Every structure is written in structure tokens, then in C-alpha cells.
Amino acid sequence: MTAGRAAPAGAAPEDGGSEPSGRFTRGIALSAATITCVWHATIDTVNLAATWSEHRSQAGQLAAWLAVAALAAVGTWILVRSPAGEERPGASRADTARICAVLALLAGVLAGLSAPHGDAIGVGGWAWSGVGWLGVLFLLFHPLRELIAFLAAHLALTAGVLLADGVLDGAMAPLLAVNVITTSGVFLSLRWVAGVLARGEERARAAVRDRAAVLARARASDELHAGRGERYAEVREGAGAVLAGLAGGRLDAAAPEVRQLAALEAARLRRLFAESDDAPDPLLHELRACADVATVRGVLVDIAVVGEPPELPPGVRRALVEAPMRALATARAGARVTVAALPGELAVAVVADCDPAALAQVSRAVLSEEGSGSADGIGDGGRPGGGGSLRSGRRNGADAAGADGVVSVTIQAGEAQCWVEARWSRPGV
Amino acid sequence: MLGGGPLEPPGGVSPRPPGRSRAVLDGEVRVALVDDHPVVLDGVAAWLSAEDRLRVVATGDSVSAVLEACAQCPDVLLLDLNLHGDLVVGEVERLAGRGVRVVVYSQHAEPELVLAVMDAGASSFVAKHEGRGELVQAVLAAAADRPHVSPTTAGALAADQRPQRPRLSRRELEALLLWFQSMSRESVARRMGISPHTVKEYIDRARVKYAEVGRPAPTKSDMLARAIEDELIEADDVRGYRSWAARGR
């Protein structure tokens, strides 16, 4: 029954399975990077070397080759060294990738202009396909239109170079077209596969998130339900028993102890209602609820607060409020409620003109919480006149001990005044 | 310990106006009241007059009016903190700086306010709901430069987390906390397993340590000096007191 409350409030819900790791998109990114680098290191380099003496500008060729090599390295780095948690490799460096793609196009123009005359897509025009691979590398996970625009620009620039060389004639144009179809086919296929994998992973991620959200909602509603069940049980045991006793004639509404019992159960009801309210300071809110009940009975209640009470789990709040609540319920004319929040400690105290006999019963019941022995039956049996409802509250005490700290209750009862203090100490203090 | 000589007021602060010794000599404490509600003035005056050792010498709704009205300065000025809608903490500081012993009473009892009033040099703070007994005790203690701690003040001191707060011992803190809760020194004593006298010592010692917090004032140094005379604390315990004494020489 207390299992729901034992879980730390606000703990992250267990996720409904492991997050997809982005394995497939990472794989295709690595493939694109490998192909680009290997292509440049082997085919581009061999072709450049084979035509080295024929180039219009060897310096231009060397610069273009180095530029393509550098860009391939940058593209690989962007794709491979993605920050953890990024859904698609290189997503956070999208602008860098776009700038690099433009630089790749410029390197292509440089290579075309310094290649042997009219050989921009031949053996001497090694950069034609090398630059195309760079486009794939940089724009693999970008929208498809970016890669198409890149390839179109690459084609237009290359055609421009051929035109400038005066070789874009009836023989060259079909050759260029065949070249475009084969290379672009490869580039776009790879881009298509990457897109399919990325979308699949995104769907899987969304499914996992949805499942976690459903689980969290289910858990929250379980806890809510358990809390309601618990409160209902308390009400049934307490107020329910008093009402049943009154209705059945077993309890005499005129008897002072029955009235006190009724006052106590009224306070408990109010506190239970207040417990699930969304208040900025739940402890003070619950104490005020108890004080309200006493005020309605004509008791003058003064509440003084010093320090900032820390946030406490409901079980600890219950244990803290229980004994002061009983003192308030038995107060006759006046009560002073104090809340003092000190470092690692919170003390709730009530000084009131309690009925010593009633408080003695309260004392026995509440003090039993401090002991570790069995408190079964304390406060339950043997008390004349509707005794059955003054519960030991041991469960609250047990909840409060342990990981959430310890609540200790001290009671001093004189002839005129009683003084009840519940003090919570932070675990380890 | 102190060389037996008269205690010097802190350097740079004007000396206390005449009238201080009178309270000690003839045993009668002259009290002036400042409150902007006539009914409260009359009520508090009646409360204080019922105590033989106290004599109300002036009443009014502003500090200047009251201080003009009484020919000789009062031993203690009882001041409502909320005058005509303003919280007069600055007034407390000004009066304490002139050596006037001020007991502040107020319906506002927020801990921050209580601490501000203590820092300003008030001798004592009493919440209005704390009643006649606390008020009379506070005035008598103030006249003798002795500490007085109302339960409201005790709560504020116990929960004080400001960096400039003095170091209080575990027992002093516990006594303050229980005094804040209980309103009876005897029950605190029973709870702590010590005598009521010792409870008062713990609480008073904590209060005297606060005389070092905030701007120096003659009221603060008088309270420190008296606490040393009474052997409540030792001069060595009080850093500020020694530095003030050194400045006077």
C-alpha cells in the first residue's frame, strides 16, 4: 500500500526500452565518408598523376587536389564526430556543411579550369566525380533539394568550363549527359537510402518516447489511485467509525471525549483534503487546514513561522502534522502553532490549553510511534467511550523514518497547557 | 577583566544623553510611548503603569513630538514599528545611534523585520500579541541594558541564516527554538533538563552575541558591557567589543 509513496516523487520514469542508437544512419554516414576519402586518395590521385604533365596549371591542380582532400577530411569529421544524442550525424553543423559544399564547388571550378584543355570530364578532369562525392558527404542528411541543387550547380559549372573551352559540342553533350546520369544516380541512391534509414530511426525514437510517456502516465495514475485509496482507508477508519458510532447510538454526541474525537477526525479530514491540494507550501497549508477546524470550534489559533520549510514527501508531512493536529483538536480556547525551519531540521510545535486526559491518550498513541517495538493495539483497545478510533498512526511514523529522515515527537503536558513538538531531521543529520 | 574603569562608548558615536544613570539610581524607569493609535497608547500606558518600577513620562504619535514633550530624556522609548503606514526601522537606527534605548513593538513579526530591528540597535522586539508581561520585562531589561528576548525574537534568531549571523552554540540554538515554541521558560527548562536560570542564560547570551551584528551603536556596546559585568559572557568572547574599546583609547 505504501509502495507507491516509497518511490521518490518526481523520479524519472523508466523508459519503455532503450533509445535507438542511430546505428544505421551512423553506418551510412561512415560509408559515404569512406567512399569519398578512398575515391580521392586513389582514383582522383591516380588520374591526376597520369595527366600531370598535360595540365594547364599544375599549381591550380595541386591546390584543387589539396582543397578536395581537406574538404573530405572536414566532411568526415562532421559526420563521424557528432555530439552524443544528436539524432542525425552532423545535424548541429548543418551550416558548416553547406559552406563546405559551396567551397567544394569552387574547388571543382578551379580543377576544371586548370585541367587539360577540354578534358573537364575526362581523365584529366578527376575532380568531376570527386567534387560530386563531397556534395554527398556534406549534404547526406540535409533535405534532398540541397543535394539536387548542389549537383545541378556542379553540372552547370562544369558545363560552363567546357563551354569556355569551346568543346561543348554535339559529341561532348551526350557524353556529359551520360556522365551526369551515372554519377548522380549513385549519389542520389545513397542519399535516398540515408533518408529511409533516418526516417525509420526517427519513427522508432518517437515510438519509444510515446511508450515512456504512457508508462509514466500509468505510474502517476497508479500513485494517485494508491494515495486516494490510502486516504479513503484513513477516512473510513476514523471519521467513518465516529459517524457510524453516532448513527448507531454507540457514541454519545454530548460526551466531551466523543466531541474531541469528532474534532480530531474533522481536522484529519481537512488535512487529508489539503494534502492533495497544489499549494506552494504544503506543510503550512495542511497545518492551516487543521487550525481552521480548531478556529471553527472557537479556538484562537496563532501561527508563527520562521525560516523556509523544505519540501517534504507526504509521508513525512503526515508524521509531522499528526501530533500537533491532535493537540489542536483537543485545544479548548487558545493554541500557538510554531513552525521553525533550521538547517537540516524542521520543528512543528503546538502549545495549547489541551484537555490533559485527552492528550494523555494522544501521548500514548503518538509516543508509541517513536519506539521500535510493536505498537499494535496501542490506542485501540480498552479506552472507554469510543476508543476504537484513536489510531496509533504507526504507519506514518514508519514511513517517515529511513531514507526521508526521522520524525520524533515530544509531548509535555501540564495542568494548564500542553506542548507537543514534532521534529523532523534530515537523513544523516 | 575591564580594568574597573568606566566603559567607553564606541568611538565616533555621540555619547548617550543624560538620564542613563537615573534609572539605576532611583530604581524608577521613565518610559516614553510612541504609537499612532490613541487607544493603543492608552492601553499600553495602563499596562506599564500597573508596574511600580515604570513611569510613563510622555506619549505621542511621533518620535519627535514625544522627545520634545518630555523635559528629560526617557530611559526607554517604546516604539510602535508601524507609524502612519511606514515601518520606521530607520528611526530605530537613528535613535539607537544617539544612545536612546528603544523597545520596538509591532504587529508585524516577520523574522526579517525582527532581525533588521535588532541590527538597527533596538534593545528588544516584542510582538503585539505577546502581551503585557513580555512588554514590561522588555522595558525593564532595556533600562538596565540587559538582554531581553521575546519568543518572536527567539524564533527569528534561531532561524537566522544570514552570513553575518553570530556563531551560536547548539544549546543556545535549542533554547531559542524551544523558547520560540513554548512561551514558558520553566517548560523549556524541563525539556532541556536544566534550570530556568540556565535557559535564560543561553537565550540572553545568544541575544548579546547579536550586539555585534550590524552598525555599532551605544545601545549595543552598553548591552555588551553589561553582559560582561554580569559575567554572562567574557570580553574575549566578543570580538567587536574589544575593537570598540581599543578605538576609544
pLDDT digits (tens, 9 = 90+) for B16-35: 444 444 444 457 899 999 99
**Which structural domain, as residue segments, surrounds residue B164?**
20-235
- Residue B92, SS3 per DSSP: helix
Indicate the residue of A304, A349, A351 with minimum beta-carbon distance to B152.
Answer: A304
Per residue in A367-385, pLDDT (tens digit) is 444 332 222 322 333 333 2
Taking residues A225-233, report their average pLDDT.
80
What pLDDT was estimated at residue B204?
93
- Residue A108, SS3 per DSSP: helix
| A429 neighbors A345 (Cβ within 8 angstroms) | yes
What pLDDT was estimated at residue A90?
64
Total structural domains within chain B = 1
Residue B238 pLDDT > 70: no
| Residue B89, domain member (yes or no) | yes
| B126 neighbors B104 (Cβ within 8 angstroms) | yes
What pLDDT was estimated at residue A396?
35
Query: B185: domain CATH number?
Result: 3.40.50.2300
B interface mutation test: which of A301, A303, A306 has the most B CBs within 10 A? A306
pLDDT confidence of A317, banded at 50, 70, 90? Answer: confident
User: Could you tell me which residue, A421 or A20, shows the higher pLDDT?
Assistant: A421
Residues pairing with A306 in the sheet:
A340
Q: Does A306 reach chain B within 8 Å, measured CB to CB?
A: yes
ipTM of the complex: 0.81
Nearest residue to B248 (alpha-carbon basis) of B11, B46, B3: B11
Which residues of chain A have a CB within 8 Å of the CB of B108?
A: none
Residue A270 cell numbers, joined: 481537512
| Residue B66, domain member (yes or no) | yes
Burial of A89 (0-12, 13-18, 19+ CB in 10 A): buried
pLDDT confidence of A18, banded at 50, 70, 90? Answer: low
Residues in chain B: 249
Strands, DSSP E only, in A325-417?
A: 331-342, 345-354, 406-413
Residue A258 cell numbers, joined: 466523543
| A104 neighbors A89 (Cβ within 8 angstroms) | no
Tell me which residue has cell 530556568.
B196
Q: Where are the domains of chain A?
A: 23-209, 251-425
Indicate the residue of B111, B159, B183 with minimum beta-carbon distance to A351.
Answer: B183
**DSSP one-letter code for A121:** T
Nearest residue to A304 (alpha-carbon basis) of B65, B192, B179, B140: B179
The alpha carbon of residue B67 is apart from the nearest alpha carbon of chain A, in Å, by 34
pLDDT confidence of A429, banded at 50, 70, 90? Answer: low
Residues A259-272, buried b or exposed e (16+ Cβ, 10 A)? bbbbbbbbbbbbbb
CATH number of A251-425: 3.30.565.10
Which residues lie closer than 8 Å to B234 by C-beta, 6 or more apart? B1, B228
Strands, DSSP E only, in chain B?
A: 29-34, 54-60, 76-80, 82-83, 86-87, 101-106, 124-127
Alpha helices in A40-118 (DSSP H): 45-50, 58-80, 94-114
| Residue B242, domain member (yes or no) | no
In angstroms and rounded to an integer, the radius of gyration of the C-alpha atoms of chain A is 40
Q: State whether A340 and B177 contact (CB < 8 Å).
A: yes
User: Could you tell me which residue, B1 or A388, shows the higher pLDDT?
Assistant: B1
pLDDT confidence of A87, banded at 50, 70, 90? Answer: low
Residue B148 pLDDT > 80: yes
Tell me which residue has cell 527554538.
B177
Indicate the residue of B111, B187, B190 with minimum beta-carbon distance to A306.
Answer: B111
| A22 neighbors A89 (Cβ within 8 angstroms) | yes
- Residue B60, SS3 per DSSP: strand
**DSSP one-letter code for A236:** I
What pLDDT was estimated at residue A367?
44
CA distance B84 to A245: 56
CA distance A397 to A369: 6
